[in-house]
Amino acid sequence: MQRKPFVWTIEEGEGGILVVFSGDLDERCNLAEFPALRGVVTFDLAGVTRVTSGGVTRWIRLLRGLEGVTELVFVRCSVPVVTQLNMVRGFQGQGVVRSFYAPYACDATGEEQDVLLTPDQIQDVSTAPPVSSDEGELTLNDLPRRYFAFLFNSRR
């Protein structure tokens, strides 16, 4: 498996700061070089392709160092990010998840597709929202109770 370097871009706008991450969050990423941020910050995590235990440690350290951030929002969390949100206490820090990808598969063709969802679409941890494609119905490729657990754990 070829490693994809963990990189980010930062854009400032009227609504705050947008940070777009991509690549493998692993022990080789250098988050110590991450700049100090202030105010409302949105992390777009769609491009995060892999997360290792070494990356988790660096990520949590990064989140703890965001002292000037008044609001932290996570959008378009990739499937590997959701896996960590479910497994690692502190991976979310003070961030609020506004959207995330869920792995679905087409019952007719077996084709897999990541579907963008919002927390509002998940009313019950045991049921995945219905998704259709041109070929037919898509089914969540995981147990809803396990995949959506991070949403209900953070609502407590």
Domain span at residue 49 reads 1-98
- For position 155, what pLDDT does the model report? 45
Residue type, 127: T
- For position 1, what pLDDT does the model report? 66
Same domain, 74 and 94: yes
Same domain, 76 and 108: no
Same domain, 23 and 55: yes
Distances (CA, A) of 102 to 20, 79, 140: 19, 6, 7
- For position 72, what pLDDT does the model report? 97
pLDDT digits (tens), the chain, 156 positions: 688 999 999 999 888 999 999 999 999 998 988 999 999 999 999 999 999 999 999 999 999 999 999 999 999 999 999 999 999 999 999 999 999 999 999 988 888 999 999 999 998 888 999 998 888 889 999 999 999 999 987 543
Looking at 73, 98, 123, the residue that finishes a domain is 98
Same domain, 117 and 148: yes
Same domain, 88 and 19: yes
For residue 17, what are its two tokens? 């700061």
Report which DSSP code applies to 56. H
Rounded to whole angstroms, the Cα distance separating 148 from 101 reads 11
- Rg, Å, the chain Cα set: 16
- For position 48, what pLDDT does the model report? 98
Rounded to whole angstroms, the Cα distance separating 67 from 77 reads 22
The total domain count for the chain is 2
Looking at 48, 76, 98, the residue that finishes a domain is 98
Which position has the token pair 């202030």?
38
Query: How many CB atoms within 10 Å of residue 120?
Result: 10
Same domain, 11 and 85: yes
Same domain, 121 and 155: yes
